[in-house]
Each structure stands twice: as C-alpha cells, then as structure tokens.
Structure 1
Amino acid sequence: MTGSHRPALSRRALIGSGLAAGAAVLTASGSAFSAPGPTTAPAADRPSTARASAPRRAGAFLAAAMDAHPDHGAVRLAQSYTDQAGLFSTAFTYDNALTILAALAAGTADGRSRAMALGDALRYAQAHDPVYDDGRLRQAYNVGPYTFYDGSPQPDGFVRADGTANVGTQFGFTGTAVGDMAWAGIALAALARRTGERRFLDAAVRIGEWIERVGRTDEPLGGYKFGVDGADARLPFTSTEHNTDLVGLFGQLARLTGDRVWRERRERARAFVARMWEPSGGFFYTGTNDGVTVNKSPVPEDTQTWTHLALASRAHSRSLDWAAAELAVLDTADRRNSTVPAGQSYTGVTFSSAALLADEDAPIAPGQPKPDREGVWFEGTAHLALALRTRCARGDEARARRLLASIEKAQESLGVGQTLGGRAVAEGCGVVSASSPLDTGFGFGYYPYRHTGATAWYVLAATRVNPLAA
C-alpha cells in the first residue's frame, strides 16, 4: 500500500462534495423483459416452483424498479435498491447501465423497448445537467419524491420542474467516476449496435471524449484517473477496475466508429491494467493512489473477473482461480452476524480480501449492523460465474452453475417483503446485494436488499452475455 494505508477508491464509493409507466407490482409471469428459459440450478438444488424461470423473475424485478414511480414522468431511470435500503428513489448510473445490458440480453421486444427508454433517459441526463454541458453523467439521480432524513422534501421525479435532471444531491451522489461513465458508454454502445440508432452512439462518444479530457494521465503508471468529485475537483486515484471498463468501452467505440484513436486509448487503459498484474500470485492489484506506487491491499474481486471479460487473456486467466479460491465464502445461519434465515446457507465470493478480515465486533458504519466475514456478494458471484463461462476451461461450467444456483436460491428466499416505491416486490423476484451485511474494506458495505445491479449481473451470467467484449 501507499504510505497513507488507504485503498484507492472503488467506483462504488461516494464521490460527492463537503415509455409509459406500467404497474409496479408484478407477478413473476407478468411484465418482464427476461426471456423464459430453464433455470441453471441443478435439479437437486432447484427451488420447487411452478412460476416463471429464475432469469424471467429477475427481469420482472428490473422492470418493477424501472416502473417504481409511475406518476412522475415517462422519462425515467430504474430505482437501484428496494426501499428498505434507505436510499429512497436513488438511481445509480452504473446500475441503470447494467439494467440496459440485461434488458438487451433478454432478446425480447419489451426488453429492447425498455433498454431504449433507459438509454434515452441517460441521454436526457447528459443533455440536461443542472450545471455542466460537457457530456458527463452524475453518480446517481432521484427518480421519485421523498422526504429526506432531515425533513426536507424532494418533490420531483427524474426530470425536475425546471427541466433539469434530478441529481442525487441529498446523499452527495454528485460526482462523476470514470467507471460509471464507462459503463453508461458501454450500455449506449450496445444500444447503438442493436438498434442502429445514431443518437446512442453519439452519446457514448461524448462519454468517451469526457473521459479522455478529464481522466487521461501521464503519471508513471499511466492509464486514466478516477474522475471528479461534486465540486469538479479531479480525484488522484487510478483504478484497475476503471481502466478495465475502458478497455471494453474504447474497444467498442473503435469498432462502431472506425476511428483508430479509440484503439490507441484502449491500449493506454490496457497497459495500465497489465501493470497491475502480480505474476507470483496470479491476480490483479486494485490500482494506485498517486500514479507512482501500486496499491497492494485490499485486492478486490472485480479486478480479477472483469479483466478476463475485457482482455480475454490466457496469460492472465489465473485471476479467476485466485478469486474463486481466495475470496470464497460460505454464509450459514449459525454465524453470529449472519442474517441468513435458519436452515439456509449460501456460497459465492466476497468483495475483496479486506472483507474477509472485517471487524465483526464493530458496525460497518455508524447506525449500520456488524458485518459477517462470510457474507456472499451476489453481484461479484455473478461476475465470476460469467467469467468462468467465458473462459470455458475444464470444470468451469460446472463451477459457474454452482455459483448461479446459489444466486437463484438467494433470489427465491432472501429479501422477502421488500418494496419499490412503496409497492410490494413479487415473491422470488430480484437478487439481494449480499446474503448478510458485508464490509467491503473500501469504506462502505453491502446489505441484504434486492438490487438492480446484482440482479442484472445475474441475468448477464445466466444468458452468457459478456458486456465488456469488444
């Protein structure tokens, strides 16, 4: 680590400053954009149900999140978490990018229509920022009214009364991370590729150009830096995850535009990622805090799996085995901080090496529960399942199926009784972020609330769609 002993920020850390709406209550066989298909769980582990397939029920949750605030405008994003998470109507840019990709992965007319609506909402946010007109998106937006914890009202939907996009200022979600921008660009590029609509490609190119202007660095380790905070101050960190995202985005822009400049930019991002490789251990480090010194702890999951999805490098594919072995967790109901119901257990991976060393006697943050070191991070578990399916080495498919079976069991049994916009989520629809409270080691936690990001990654893994492939 650097002298400060502080990890480079994750894209998910807070970086702020000091279609007509349908019914939000869905049955699993109702309005959903995931195509029906057999569950990936082995028969012995598969929940007994006559309802729709697990991917279709995941799609029903994503549709409900998109329709959570039907009275507040046709231009809308999907609420990221169920109401119980305490983030009200927050819609993270990253989660909505994933929801677009999952909708396209379904291969249905409804999925395509919803993906286009979300893509147009991102374009609206890009064109109607209350402060900037430079192609950026913010970390998150509000998509429905609520009263904040201090009693102040937030009365608007995604589009405010003055026509500007409703930035998530209440929680400080006002900055712009390169990783969030990259994923939005990837989603818009996918829409351009699938629909042939130029407006989506133009928006993706604007994102890429913003990243080039703001993120490019000539520091010794190179690559692209983290982004800006809510006051538009550039952040000093450089993230392996972000640069991996850019390998995907820039490669896709190169293919769609035919402009060789995107290939040069892809190579800059790829070179940074390659510098983060630890050959003796077979894994990638998280990044750098200063552009000079590699940050060697904690080691996160996504820098192991996304690198394979973006690079498809046989020389680095051992990173999947490192993640599967070194970040493996088994959450059981008898663990003291576990919130898993009695008689249940879940397997998968955790967020980072630091999560395995979390202080189980201290809350993750003030007012939050104590962490379970064995809490399963289901989004990361889906990353690993998809990466294994992409690698296709001996035994990879069987390992991926076991991970998917755990996610499907979680969708069936965890997060019961939760709501979106005050409306009940249908039984067995939507994947929670974590099986139990989980301290990531990067200054924030994940909890057992149904989450569009985790659910969308499950859909991508179930349908074998690699969003980072160029």
Structure 2
Amino acid sequence: MTGRQGPALSRRTLIGAGLGAAGTAAVGSGQAWAAGPTASRPRSAPARGRAFLAAAMDAYPGQDGLRLTQSYTDQAGLFSTAFTYDNALAILAHLAARTADGLKRAKTLGDALLYAQSHDPAYDDGRLRQAYNVGPYTFYDGSPQPDGFVRPDGTVNVGTQFGFTGTAVGDMAWAGIALSALARRTGARRYLSGAVRIGEWIERTGRTDEPLGGYKFGVDGADRKLPFTSTEHNTDLICLFGRLARLTGDRVWRERRERAEAFVRSMWEPSGGFFYTGTNDGVTVNRSPIPEDTQTWTYLAFGDRTRGCARALDWAAAELAVQDHSGRPNSTVPAGQSYEGVTFSSASLLANEDAPIASGQPRPDRNAVWFEGTAHLALALRARGARGDEAHALRLLASTEQAQDLLGGGQTVGGTALPERSGVVSASSPLDTGFGFGYYPYRHTGATAWYLMAAARYNPLKA
C-alpha cells in the first residue's frame, strides 16, 4: 500500500499514531458487539458491509449531494478524514454490487473526486490530494469545526488537522482505476477525462530514468518530489495505464504500462518466490521488510501470464499467515474468539511486543490479522483457482465475516451509530506494520471494500 518508503506521506502513518487521548481510549474496541440500532439487520454479510459503506458516505449529508466517504470510524481519532485511496475502493465495491443504488453511490463518489480534482485551492494539474475532509467534525474538546469538503468559496478542504495534503502515485492510480471503471460502466466521458488527467500527472511527476526505472512515489505537502519507487505503486499503474490504453486507443499508455511492468518484474526474487517492496534510491532494491500486497496485487494485475506471480501467492499464504486469539500477548480479541488471515509484512511477525507501536499507542500483537490484506489474498486465490484455493479463500472470508459480526462494536461515524454488525475492522488487534505505523480494530472503509470485492469475485486490478 501507499506510504511504504515514505511514512510522512502515508495514509496509514497517523492511524493511531500520536493521536492523543481520543486515539488511545478506544483502541481495545475489538469487544463483542454491544447493543446497536433497532433497525432490522441486513440478512447477508455482504449486505452488512454495503450498509457500512453507505453509512460512512451519508454521515455528513449537508453537501448538496457532493460528498466523500469517511475512512475510519470516529474512534480512530481521525474524525471525518476521507482518504482518496479508500474512496476509490468504495467506488469499486459499489460497482461490484451491480445494483442501482451501488451505481448511484459510485457515481456520486466519482463526481466528488472529479470536483476535488478541478477545484483544488492550489493546483489545477490533475492531481488529487492524499485525503480530504468530508464534513463537520469535532476536536478532542468537542468544539465544532465546520469547514467541510466544499468551502463556501467553492474550493475543497484539503487541509485536515493531520496534514494529509501530499499526493502519492499509488493513491492517484487507484482513483484513476475507479474513474476508469466508472467510464466503462456508464460511458460518461467525464470519468475517462479525469482518469487521463491523473495518468498524465503521474507521467509528468513520477517517471524516472534511474537504473531500476518505473515511476516514483509522488510529492509531499510542500510539492517536493519523494525519492522512493514502490512495487505496489507500479503494480497499480499496470492496471491504470492498461485501461487507459484500451479506453483511449492511444498507444502511449501501452508504453507507460510496459515501463511500470518492467519495474515490478525487476523486484522479483526467484529463489524465495516473492516480490520486494521497491527501492529508496532507484539503484538498490529494498530487501526487507516484505509486504503482503506486493504479492497479491501483482497476481491480480498480471494473472497467470507472468511466471512467478502464482508462487508469490503461495509465499504470502504461507509466510504471512497468522491466527489471533485472546491467549496471544497484547491481543484484544475477546475470549472464545479466533481469527485467521495474514499480517501486513514479514516485519509484523517480528514486532517488539514489549514496546508500543507508537508514542501513546498500545503494544502490538504479532499475530494480529490484517483484514484488508486477508481480503486481498482471498480474492487472488479465487482468481487463481488452483486446487484448494477456493476452500482457503472461503476460510479467509469466513474469518473476515466473523470479524464484521463481532469486532468493533459500538463504533460510530460522524457521531452516529452504525447499522448493526456492519463494517470490517482494519486489524483484529493492534498490529505493527514494520513500516513505521500501525493498524487497530477500527471499522474501515478500505478493509470493508476489499472484503466486498473478494466476496463478489470482483478483481479491481484487471485491466
């Protein structure tokens, strides 16, 4: 995921890191579900996931229909922050539902991203910021802060109190993937135009002629280019540029796709059967830690046509497998419950369980399940379809559905109670990623969206 080599720009870096009292009080919110709203419960687990996405999108209705989806429940301490990546995933999950309401919501979110793209207070070059503020929120003392997604002067609020104002190539790529999916579904030219603007910004800003090639990380909030090159980002670009080549008919996108693909291939480690995370200087490959998503996303983007990708799935399934339960040190899983899945990276398995993940935060559980990554793996296994893959994927989905039922109870979005048993938490217990930030048991738009796509067999990275 975005932010691996550049924690200052990560949409994850500040999740639970240095958030003060509001961020720490609820970190043990993996308790069993407390009494929720009296409305009738949706019947299926995917329906409950979709109900969460709808609630997170509708929490701040006073935007004349133009709104984004809050990324995490209020208990994470990020208030109404809407990460661009999470909103791109929400669009794709709504499209995966193949319902009239899903299409309507996907179009609303897509139009909000287009509005942000064309009404930035500082730039008009096709970029999207890392995050936006979706609506009114409150500080720790309860005082209202009414500056929402759209200001009275028509510009968008890009300055949340956490400073997520830079632009990462991976976040941009996912927004472009979501807009291109809308273009294919609706035929509306505006979505393709927005995706093309994103692709052109990436080409101008990210392209590098360093020995390892590929596309660089992005820019920070001061518009300074960051030196890192990420395997995950370039995997995203394989999909985005491939789609733009097909939708526009312009062969230049094919060349750009091949450039991103060559970088990803250069990160392959044949002796171990996995992909490395990237490079900090364009010359030397970063050999540790090894993350989950560079294994699963490469398969989703490449499929069986690229030697090695199938082995990378096996590496992730075996080497990053975890099982979390209440008997584990630092686990917040309630007694009698157990969850299986994968963790974030090889470093997560070696986390120091005697030290906090970050200042003011809890100590990590080495066996905490990362549910977003668990959904990545489930979807990739279903796409591969080798012997035993479907059974394995169904176990992972069942674990994720149990988490939706039993973890993160009593959490809210915009101060409003969520539909009962809706939304998947980021992690079963506090999780140290090994990249300078952590995940916690807060219900999350991104994790829920990936679960919904895995349940629907919807591959968002298929060009």
TM-score, normalised to structure 2's length? 0.91
Matches within 5 A, 1:46-445: 51-149=42-140, 154-312=145-303, 313-316=305-308, 317-445=310-438
Q: Does 1:9 align with 2:6?
A: yes
* 1:279 positional shift: 0.2
Distance 1:70 1:7 in 2: 34
Give the secondary-structure state (helix, strand or coil) at the position aligned to 2:451.
helix
Distance 2:126 2:186 in 1: 22
How many equivalent residue pairs? 436
Distance 2:117 2:63 in 1: 19
- Residue deviations 1:332-373 (CA, integer Å, cap 9, x gap): 111120000111010000000011111111111111111100
* 1:234 positional shift: 0.1
Quick check: 2:13–2:436 contact (8 Å CA) kept in 1? no
The letter for the 2-side match of 1:69 is Y
Distance 2:268 2:66 in 1: 42
Quick check: 1:145–1:154 contact (8 Å CA) kept in 2? yes
- Residue deviations 1:90-112 (CA, integer Å, cap 9, x gap): 00000000000000000000000
Shift of the 129–380 alpha-carbon distance from structure 1 to 2, 3 Å rule, reads same
Distance 1:303 1:256 in 2: 26
Distance 2:258 2:141 in 1: 47
Unaligned runs of 5+ in 1: 1-5, 16-24, 30-49
Shift of the 133–57 alpha-carbon distance from structure 1 to 2, 3 Å rule, reads same
Quick check: 1:7–1:298 contact (8 Å CA) kept in 2? no
The letter for the 1-side match of 2:315 is W
> What CA RMSD, in Å, does the superposition of the two structures yield over aligned residues?
1.7
Q: Does 1:453 align with 2:446?
A: yes
Distance 1:27 1:214 in 2: 50
* 1:153 positional shift: 5.6
Partner of 2:19: none
Distance 1:169 1:80 in 2: 13
Distance 2:143 2:259 in 1: 45
- Residue deviations 1:118-139 (CA, integer Å, cap 9, x gap): 0000000000101000000000
The letter for the 1-side match of 2:212 is L
Distance 1:171 1:310 in 2: 32
Quick check: 1:243–1:269 contact (8 Å CA) kept in 2? yes
Distance 1:76 1:328 in 2: 37
Distance 1:434 1:238 in 2: 27
Instruction: Identify which range, 318-327 or 158-167, moves more after superposition.
Output: 158-167
Q: Kindly indicate whether structure 1 or structure 2 has the higher relative contact order, using CA contacts under 8 Å at least 6 residues apart.
A: 2
The letter for the 1-side match of 2:365 is D
- Provide the identity percentage: 79
Shift of the 431–196 alpha-carbon distance from structure 1 to 2, 3 Å rule, reads same
* 1:307 positional shift: 0.2
Distance 2:60 2:412 in 1: 12
Distance 1:275 1:348 in 2: 28
Quick check: 2:12–2:438 contact (8 Å CA) kept in 1? no
Distance 1:243 1:28 in 2: 44
Give the secondary-structure state (helix, strand or coil) at the position aligned to 2:324.
strand
